[in-house]
Amino acid sequence: MQGRPDIFWWRLFQRALLGSACALMLQPVWAGDALVSVSHPLAAEAGALALSQGGDAVDAAAAIQFALNVVEPQSSGIGGGAFFLVYRAATHEVYALDAREVAPAADRADQFGAMNFDQASTRGIAVGVPGTLAGVEALRQRWGKLSLAAALAPAQHYARDGFLITPYLAHALQSPRLEHDPAARALTHGADGKPLQVGQRWRQPALAHAFELIAREGVTAFYRGAIAKAVVAAQQDRQVDAAGAGRMTRDDLAQYQVAWRTPLEYPYRGYRLVTMPPPSSGGVAMFQVLGMLERFHPGQTPGLDLGDPEEVRLTIDAMRLALADRARWMGDAPAGVTIPVTQLLSPAYLKQRSQRLNRHQRLAQATAVDTPEGLHTTHFSVVDHEGNVVCVTTTVEALWGTGILVPEYGFFLNNEMTDFNLRPRASASDPGINDVRPGHRPRSSMMPTLLFHGDRWVGAYGSPGGVSIISTVLEMTQDMLDGGLSAGHAIRRPRFAVMDAEGHTLVEDALPPFLVQTLRQQGDLVEPSPIPLGSVQWVGVDEATGRREGAADPRREGTVLRIPEH
């Protein structure tokens, strides 16, 4: 020890830590720590700042969302839509807020004509009326303690003074989606005509100006004022051919409404999972899979491990059956049609579907296939000192949405309308639930999810990734509840994602080759995933210690910040 006082002090510090860890088991002294888990460090800092100023979890969520619009604009922002799940510690209530984009009044089921996804998703006609700002404001009005200006301040600062481009953003800046719209190109490319690079400072003065206006005039500037006018012009005039012009009007923006929905719940292995109901398809699909697999006792079969080919076989085929139901039943149902959620989740139905599964043999057919979706989006989770939780999946759909920038205000417009059926499906035998309908929301896979043990909240998580979200959140849930892994461990496990009822399955490189080979031999349509699958941001409670813990996905620039209670 002599000559190394640093080690001495370190040991003392460790002992003190150990002491407090023991005390922890008797009384949860850390229970009041607040946490944010976000896919970008600067956005995490914005949330932490709100919490350290005495803000509620919803204030932190607002600050994070605005900051993400600046530092991760390829995935979410005020030009897009979001789902928010909120848990209030004092009442034990969960609220589900749907701030998804809606179809303009002039939109029609056949509006995409013969366009494929790539053609449709870069045009004005793919833009839905954005909901994210209305969603943030609805949360703040109900539970917020800080002003809208306070929530916007860090984002304004990042946009005005600039921030250093991280590797994940630099990669996104290479996207061909930024090549079509001259305004988007000018914002994202340097004087040399090349996309901005990692380590360069990126300033977004037009976006800073938008936030200043919103801070001064409130969200009405966006839905009824100068910004509304600019949004309508951008989706009408740019990047269009005759069929591609957006149909959104100022009335559509003025009439935008968030929807408070009844959260969807499912009991599983002594826990309670709570997530988004339709128009998200994610919760119903995940609960169906868990229900179909329960009789196989996942994670408990002697000799079988998680990631074992037999368990993966069952999961893939159960997902295919769930995705077949999703294609037919999930969406924002037209008047007069009820989505049969109760039937789809009934034990009798799931038992019957489950009879088709076999550990050793691939399911021959599951029907119904869907059009592709974006894989980008972003998820973040927050718990404040009082234990209130906000769990958010937020999107502009594809990477950079349509790639159309609102030039005066510096934000990108979503292409969420391509989450509707590109071709109408309604017929005598199919209600066409996800056909484009004015005022309706496109089907989503986004599924911010809360986990409870009895009455106690123990976790908040979710992921981006379009339809792959369902596999990512499902695998997290299986790894934690069937496999007993911590959230941090579960996040690091390699993933696979079932993309449709035919069974097209994306796999990450780190998945054991033996597993991939077995699946291929069984006839699975396995492809290496072009990008890492998902990006899970978790906050929760370590049940052994009572301590709040966060975990963030290393696949992006996930960051957890702890704000100790004082």
Binding site for ligand GLU (CB under 6 A): 373-377, 395, 397, 416, 419, 444-446, 464-466, 469
Separation CA 355–CA 167 (nearest Å): 46
- Looking up tokens 């306070």, which residue turns up? 150
Q: What is the DSSP string of 380-395?
A: EEEE-TT--EEEEEEE
392, 448 contact by CB (below 8 A): yes
Class of residue 423 by CB neighbours under 10 A (exposed 0-12, middle 13-18, buried 19+): middle
Q: How far is the CB of 293 from ligand GLU (least distance, A)?
A: 23
Please, which residue, 515 or 552, has the CB nearer to ligand GLU? 552
Please, which residue, 208 or 476, has the CB nearer to ligand GLU? 476
209, 409 contact by CB (below 8 A): yes
Please, which residue, 283 or 432, has the CB nearer to ligand GLU? 283
113, 235 contact by CB (below 8 A): no
Q: How far is the CB of 470 from ligand GLU (least distance, A)?
A: 9
273, two tokens: 């999972």
User: Considering 132, 275, 315, 377, which one is annotated as catalytic?
Assistant: 377
Q: How far is the CB of 189 from ligand GLU (least distance, A)?
A: 23
Q: How far is the CB of 37 from ligand GLU (least distance, A)?
A: 17
Q: How far is the CB of 131 from ligand GLU (least distance, A)?
A: 12
Give me the amino acid identity at 158: Y
486, two tokens: 């911590």
Helix (H, G, I), strand (E, B) or coil at 450: strand
422, two tokens: 């590109």
Q: How far is the CB of 296 from ligand GLU (least distance, A)?
A: 28
Please, which residue, 459 or 466, has the CB nearer to ligand GLU? 466
Separation CA 522–CA 313 (nearest Å): 9
Please, which residue, 45 or 397, has the CB nearer to ligand GLU? 397
Strand spans (E) along 133-190: 163-164
Please, which residue, 277 or 465, has the CB nearer to ligand GLU? 465
Separation CA 108–CA 103 (nearest Å): 9
16, 10 contact by CB (below 8 A): no
Q: How far is the CB of 281 from ligand GLU (least distance, A)?
A: 8
Please, which residue, 252 or 397, has the CB nearer to ligand GLU? 397
491, 552 contact by CB (below 8 A): yes
Terminal C-alpha separation, the chain: 34
279, 261 contact by CB (below 8 A): no
Separation CA 106–CA 111 (nearest Å): 10
Please, which residue, 291 or 462, has the CB nearer to ligand GLU? 462
Counts of helices then strands in the chain (DSSP H, E): 19, 20
Chain CA centroid to CA 92, Å: 23
Dihedral pair phi/psi, residue 149, rounded to 5°:
-60, -40
Separation CA 443–CA 257 (nearest Å): 17
Please, which residue, 434 or 477, has the CB nearer to ligand GLU? 434
Angle of CA points 371, 376, 377, to nearest 5°:
110
Annotation marks residue 377 as catalytic:
yes
Give the residue numbers annotated as catalytic, written as ranges: 377
